[in-house]
Structure 1
């Protein structure tokens, strides 16, 4: 654009996110998954910044041209893998409990334990989401994931309990997830895993925060027939 004097003025535009090219045909889908599995395996034992596209291709035993066909950059590959783990964690969050909970605190305790179990059985997810060298793109994707988790947790609570009207409830739940992630991240930094002690700490910290907004007891809904 130009200023009033006619001189050119530069305008900073947000950088366009470079994402993976999603395959449409079955052979491409198989190779795409193979490359993501290779990246997942590499991340189990290597830092994010130490992995490049050539390494992923070599580990997957596919030509370099194949990986460039799907991933224009390592960042795009990391984002694609992050999406896989994000979707798996979201599916866990959506699932109903084995039996109706008597207290809202139990919903958070059980779902937190499920998430910790998933992390501990997927080292790449631990490194991607809780490691010290998380990329800005993955961090941005994490923020979007948090609000997907928020919406599912709000639905789950409303399924089991008569929920009161809480101003800013969505933001409160987002803060809860951030608190839990912070404790999980500390455990990963210290132990390379999420220990039982830190699972308990994360639950206590999260519930203590939510008690600022939720009453100690909520009225359960009648089970649907």
Structure 2
């Protein structure tokens, strides 16, 4: 089950501070009835995606599942792709907030922190397969012409850098940013291959993602980064 309760999905979509930061004014406030209807459309799409390929789901299917007239649905989403983009947006917020809880305190080296992050992400996908489907499946809506996908990647990279820099002596962010972005792309590439072959992130591909990403970062980071003393870490 998702960390968020279904009845809270609309509040997250509209009211999240992260939502406002990443996609300002993307989802305008509506009346309470309007918010409830938009929520039903989102949850209807999510339920259908659990058993059907996303590109096989039409707006009419979602409206029928949600019990919302199609004419009313157009007030909230112009098409079915927009509904699934909204779900991807919600998933990204949840993943970022969960990853934000992973600390470096229990990790002797940066490799341990990276491993913990990747394993936590896969655990999210195992709990809710629709999250992986929306990101890694074929023919799913993408954020073409929108900077949201790129913004999410940069948010993840900034989070990783911040956590590592709190504990270790790290290169300047400007010097390591592209390297961390490429690391993220490597992980996503392995996960995409796993999902498209097995419809899930398998343990074998999880290990491949760990091996590939750590091996790449070892080209730029020492095996053991110097730790900051307590005064520097504060």
TM-score by length of 2: 0.80
Report the Cα distance in structure 1 between the residues aligned to 2:47 and 2:153, rounded to whole angstroms. Answer: 25
Which residues of structure 2 form unaligned runs of 5+? 1-24
Correspondence for 1:25 = 31
Report the Cα distance in structure 2 between the residues aligned to 1:149 and 1:21, rounded to whole angstroms. Answer: 22
User: How much has 1:204 moved relative to structure 2?
Assistant: 0.6
User: How much has 1:87 moved relative to structure 2?
Assistant: 0.4
1:5-31 CA deviation, whole Å, 9 max, x = no partner? xxxxxxxxxxxxxx9753433332222
**Residues 85, 141 of structure 2: 8 Å contact kept:** no
Correspondence for 1:90 = 96
Residues 109 and 128 of structure 1: CA distance in aligned 2, closer, same or farther (over 3 Å):
same
Correspondence for 2:22 = none
2:164 to 140, 157, 165: 157
SS at match of 1:69: coil
1:173 to 180, 193, 202: 180
Residues 21 and 104 of structure 1: CA distance in aligned 2, closer, same or farther (over 3 Å):
closer
**Residues 102, 220 of structure 1: 8 Å contact kept:** no
2:53 to 47, 51, 68: 47
Report the Cα distance in structure 2 between the residues aligned to 1:82 and 1:118, rounded to whole angstroms. Answer: 14
**Residues 188, 194 of structure 1: 8 Å contact kept:** yes
Detail structure 1 runs of 4+ shifted over 6 Å in the superposition: none
**Greater mean deviation of Cα atoms: 174-183 or 42-51:** 42-51
Report the Cα distance in structure 2 between the residues aligned to 1:139 and 1:181, rounded to whole angstroms. Answer: 20
TM-score by length of 1: 0.83
CA RMSD of aligned residues (A): 2.3
User: How much has 1:139 moved relative to structure 2?
Assistant: 9.1
Residues 22 and 122 of structure 1: CA distance in aligned 2, closer, same or farther (over 3 Å):
farther
Correspondence for 1:5 = none
Structure of larger gyration radius? 1
User: How much has 1:222 moved relative to structure 2?
Assistant: 4.3
**Residues 20, 80 of structure 1: 8 Å contact kept:** no
**1:118-133 paired onto structure 2 within 5 Å:** 118-133=124-139
